[in-house]
Structures are given as structure tokens and as C-alpha cells.
Amino acid sequence: MSAGEPPAPIPGARLLFSLDPGVSYLNHGSFGAVPIGVQRAQQRLRDEIESNPLRFFAQGLSDRIIHTRRHLAAFLGADPEVSALVPNTTAAASLVLQSVKLEPADEVLLTDHAYGAVAMAARRRCRRAGATVRTVALPMGATDAELVSRVRSALRPGRTKLLIIDQIASATATTFPVREIAAAAHEHEIPVMVDAAHVPGMLLVDVASIGADFWVGNLHKWAFAPRGTALLSVAPEWRRKMEPLVVSWDQEQGFPHAVESQGTLDYTPWLTSPTGLFTLRTLGWEEVRAHNSALAGYGQRVVGEALNVPVAELPRPGDPDLAMRIVPLPAGLATTPPEAQALRQHIADKLAVETAVNAWGGRGLLRLSAQVYNRPEEYDRFAERLPQLLHDYRR
């Protein structure tokens, strides 16, 4: 389906969510949206806990976590024995960074598409070790071959101790050829962490075939899990080196149990996540991917046209199933993170539209998401009203 044709709605899908009908929620990518059935399944677990907390935490919890991990790992093509449930990709990044040995002459290599909190974690880890963080610039619109070449040229064998690469970048909705990039880094024995926060539920993935040393994806964005659910998969040779950020009672069992066992943590998001996958499969995952990518493309086109952005300047999706698209904002708008946040809030307040605005490369970028609860007319209304709002905002 071309970007000129909005997709037909998936019957009944909109009724699965409890989103405010007075708001156009075009920002599924930031925090996801939990279906009502998943919310209720989580509440039943909370009710179970409160009926007898000791029984819940002391009898069979570990087995339930293991069962859930295996279920999620199978969905993602990961080995459950070297994977762990974690709250999110940011927590996983800190876990990985502390597990990689760094000395004063070493460095961690990022790209300029790296998620802000992950970059902050890398800088803190390097600051404590006396190491450095270095960033390689990767232009939007570059071919896979160009991306691999740029990353390969930026590697410093002997000094680069970790490469962190996004599979789908949050700010720019750019996909990266992570399998090929990991292979290039491994030519110099440089470990690779893939930040795949947006991948589960949006793209087909086989984690094992990527060959990364560390891969982590959130299931609360596109796989309908409650927030606080992610899977971290590590290469077998790293298993003994993975230490939890907090020591708890299963410390001696090692990874993944030591990472997953965190005392009175709320485990209900993890244990409910298979219900999210069930919902996704019930809707028809192929149909969901086709719908979301087509609707995101449609939204990008109509909003881009409204802002007089030439079609050639609209960033193309690197994967046909991508459900997030970028529309460059007029020059001078949202060029810094605080300005981007202020504009996002202004759009929400004035237009009742939730979207994402990011500052990247000195340019403001509007990121549009599409999910089964969205409709073409939401993007049409947004396109009609946004130009005047931006005109008034700049005055």
C-alpha cells in the first residue's frame, strides 16, 4: 500500500484501548498503550498478590518468571537461558556498561542517533572509569553500505571496548543494519550492544541471528505489554560477567536469575506480557504491521505536505514495517531538547494531539507513530491545524 492510501481500520481494534477519545494519540512509540484486556490481566495478578503476598513471592514466582522469559524469548528468537527480563532498555544499558571492563585509555562508541538516557549512562560509566565516550555521525538517508562503512571507520581496535547501536533510533526513526555492523565490529573483537527498544511487536526479529553481544528490546512499546517489560539477551560468553545493578537473594545463581530476582519488585508487568502477545496475535500480527506502517506513511505524507516539505526530504523508512515516521520541522524550530519539549507540550495543549518532537542535528523533527487505534482523519486534522499553530508559535 502506498503512502497515498490510508489503510482500512482493523475491525474492533480501537475498542481494545482506554485512551481518551478527546485526544489524538499519535505517539505510541514513547510509552505504548496497554490494551484493556492486558490491564485487567495485570489487575488480577495484583489482586492475587494482595490476597496473600507471602504466598505469591515465596511459592512458584521464580518458575512463573522463567516461563514468561521463555515465552518472550521464543517470540523474539532469543535463547532464554542467556536472556533476562529487565524493566527497560535504559536499565539494560547500565547493566551492560557496568559489565564491560573499562580503563582510562578505553572508549565507548555511540552514534549521533543514540537514545539520550543511554548516552547519559555511557558518559557516567566512562567518567567513573576515566574512559571516554566518542560519537560517530550517521546521516539520515544513508544506505546500509554507507552506514556500515562509517561505523567500521570509526572503530579503534584496542581502544573501543563497546559499540552501542540502535536497531531503530528513537529520535530519527532510522533503522540500522545491526547484523552487518555487529559483524564489522567483531572483526576487531569489539563487543556490540543493540538498543532495540522499538523492535518487539513492530518488526520481525530473530535475535540469535543478529550476532550481537547484547540485545535489548522493550515489549511495552509495540508488543502491548504493561510498561516496565523488556528482554535483554546476551552472548553465552558474557553470561558469567553479567552482574545485577542491585544484589538480591538469587545473586549466587548468576545470570539471568540474579538480574530478575529483585525482592519486592512489581513483577506483574512481566507476568502479564504474554497476554499482550496474545492480543497482538489475535488481531493478526501481519495485519497489524501492514496497517501501522501504511498509516504512519500516510500521516507523514499529509503532515509533510501541510508543512511544505518536499517528498524527497521526507525520511524514508529503512524497513517496510516501520510504524514511526519523521517530518522535519521548519528551520529554527525545536533545535534543542528543551525547545523540542516545549513545542511538544504546546501542540498537546492547543491541538489535543500527543506526538513526539525531538531535536537532532540542529533541526527539529516531528515523529509520528501509528497504531491500530489510530485513524487517518486524526492525521488529516493535525495536518490542517499544525501550520497555523507553528506560524503563531514562532511569533
Q: What is the mean pLDDT of each run of 10 residues along the chain (395 residues)?
A: 76 96 97 98 98 95 97 98 97 97 97 97 97 97 96 97 98 97 98 98 97 98 98 96 90 93 94 98 96 97 96 89 97 96 98 98 96 98 98 87
- Three cell numbers, residue 109: 562508541
> Is residue 170 within 8 Å of 29, Cβ to Cβ?
yes
Spell out the domain ranges in the chain: 13-33+284-394, 38-277
Q: Is 59 exposed, middle or buried (0-12, 13-18, 19+ CB in 10 A)?
A: exposed
CB 367 within 8 A of CB 359: no
Task: Check: CB of residue 186 under 8 Å from CB of residue 165.
Answer: no
> Quick one: pLDDT at residue 59?
93
pLDDT reported for residue 2: 45
Query: Residue 230 has what pLDDT?
Result: 98
pLDDT, position 48: 97
The CATH class of the 13-33+284-394 domain is alpha beta
Distances (CA, A) of 239 to 99, 100, 118, 257, 321: 10, 12, 21, 11, 32
Q: Which CATH class is domain 38-277?
A: alpha beta
Closest CA to 65 of 247, 268, 238, 242: 268
Q: Give the alpha-carbon dihedral of 50, 275, 38, 221, to 10 degrees.
A: 120
pTM of the model: 0.96
